[in-house]
Structure 1
């Protein structure tokens, strides 16, 4: 179970008292997390999620709280920090920064269809539109410089075939760094995988886990999303689902010429980012009772992205 910091019932009851949400009925750890400790919490007044932040500096937490407040105020189905009777959204539990948020309804979709993907595209466009005019600055700790450095450090431990795939990808990232950083920006979710979105049937009811959110090029967020939501059985891109996602997005926020030009590159950048982070996690958490995602999934996807037939819906 991916709960890095166990919480006792008395500790949790003391933490929850300032919220005034009634008696604690039940709580349980959530096994799916890979970076933070998360718990489902049942109180007399409803269902909630408690997060103990395990990774990243405490000084980043006001960013997450402000971003989620902005998106919540824009009527998006996101969690947001509830305030205690002292008005604070960020508090402390077991020595860790802690947030209590409403639990969103719905379930994750393992096999999305075109309609699911179109709604995800709309959601992503709304996130970008809500923030691009007043970006809340936060530099990602897993950006281009991190990819170049971490990739170079990991090369020696890879097979000949893996190194032959990663080396030109790193060279491409370095060559296009300035162009990528000049693309239109907003606040990004930066981790909009299927397990971070909930649906009831084909209706999108929630998006969670903003702890990789940052400011940066909107196209990067789109590439990360397409790389997970629009896959065929071989790890390539399913064109109808990808076109549904991109078309729904572009109907709200049209793409620029620079974005259309860099689209194949950005798909590969998105694969490199998660291949490297999963390789590092597999090494750091080996033998521990922690959910570890398979790095090979993104190795395969990067290989599949060497040729990209999918075009952005860009009108000259």
Structure 2
């Protein structure tokens, strides 16, 4: 189970008292997380998710709270920090920064269809449109510079085929870094995988886990999202799914010519980011009772993205 910091019932009851949400009925750790400790919390006045922040500087946490407030105020189905009686949304539990958020309804979709992908594309466009004019600045700690340094560190431990694939990708990132950073920007979710979106039937009911959110090129967010939602059986791109996602997005926020030019590159960048982070997690958490996602999934996807036939829809 991916709970890095265990919490006892008395500790949790003391923490929850200032929220005035009634008696604690039940709580349990959530196994899906890989970076933070998360718990489902049942109280007399509702269902909530408690997150203890395990990674990243504490000074970044007001960014997450502010961003989620902006998106919540724009009527998007996102969690937000519940305030205690003193108005505090960020508090401490077991020596870790802690947030209490409403638990959103719905279930994750393991095998999305075109309609699911279109709704995800729409939601992503709404996030970008809600923030691009007043971006809340936060530089990601898993950005291009991190990829270049982490990739160089990991290269000696890879086999010849893997190292060739990664070395080529790192060279491409270095060559296109300035162009990527010059693309149109907004606030990004930066981790919009299937296990972070919930549906009730065919209706998108929730988007969670904003702890990788940052400011940056909108195209990067789209590439990360498509790399998980629009897959064929071999890790390649499912064209109908991808066209549904991109078409729905472009209907709200048209793509630029610069984005179209860098699209294949950005798909590969999105694969590199998660291949590297998963390799590091597999190394650092080996033998621990922690959920570790298979790094090979993104190795395969990166190999599949060496030739990209999918183009962005652009109005000529």
TM-score range, shorter chain: over 0.9
Match of 2:182 in 1: 182
- CA deviation vs aligned residue, 1:5-60 (integer Å, no higher than 9, x gap): 01011110111111111000000000000000000000001100000000001000
Give the TM-score normalised by the residue count of structure 2: 1.00
Q: How does 1:1-316 map to 2 (within 5 A)?
A: 1-316=1-316
CA distance in 1, matches of 2:169, 2:5: 37
Measured after TM superposition, the shift of residue 98 of structure 1 is 0.3
- Secondary structure at the counterpart of residue 268 of structure 2: helix
Give the TM-score normalised by the residue count of structure 1: 1.00
Measured after TM superposition, the shift of residue 123 of structure 1 is 0.3
Measured after TM superposition, the shift of residue 175 of structure 1 is 0.2
CA distance in 1, matches of 2:277, 2:8: 31
- Secondary structure at the counterpart of residue 25 of structure 1: strand
- CA deviation vs aligned residue, 1:143-176 (integer Å, no higher than 9, x gap): 0000001101110000000011111110000000
CA distance in 1, matches of 2:276, 2:314: 31
- Give ranges in structure 2 of 5+ residues lacking alignment: none
- Secondary structure at the counterpart of residue 136 of structure 2: coil
- Secondary structure at the counterpart of residue 111 of structure 1: coil
Measured after TM superposition, the shift of residue 233 of structure 1 is 0.1
Measured after TM superposition, the shift of residue 248 of structure 1 is 0.2
- Secondary structure at the counterpart of residue 126 of structure 2: helix
- Secondary structure at the counterpart of residue 302 of structure 2: helix
CA distance in 2, matches of 1:307, 1:75: 38
CA distance in 1, matches of 2:147, 2:314: 28
CA distance in 2, matches of 1:15, 1:164: 50
Measured after TM superposition, the shift of residue 315 of structure 1 is 1.5
CA distance in 1, matches of 2:34, 2:153: 22
Measured after TM superposition, the shift of residue 300 of structure 1 is 0.1
CA distance in 2, matches of 1:12, 1:157: 42
Superposed CA RMSD in Å reads: 0.4
- Give ranges in structure 1 of 5+ residues lacking alignment: none
- CA deviation vs aligned residue, 1:45-89 (integer Å, no higher than 9, x gap): 110000000000100000000000000000000000000011010
Equivalenced residue count is 316
- Secondary structure at the counterpart of residue 234 of structure 1: coil
CA distance in 1, matches of 2:14, 2:155: 48
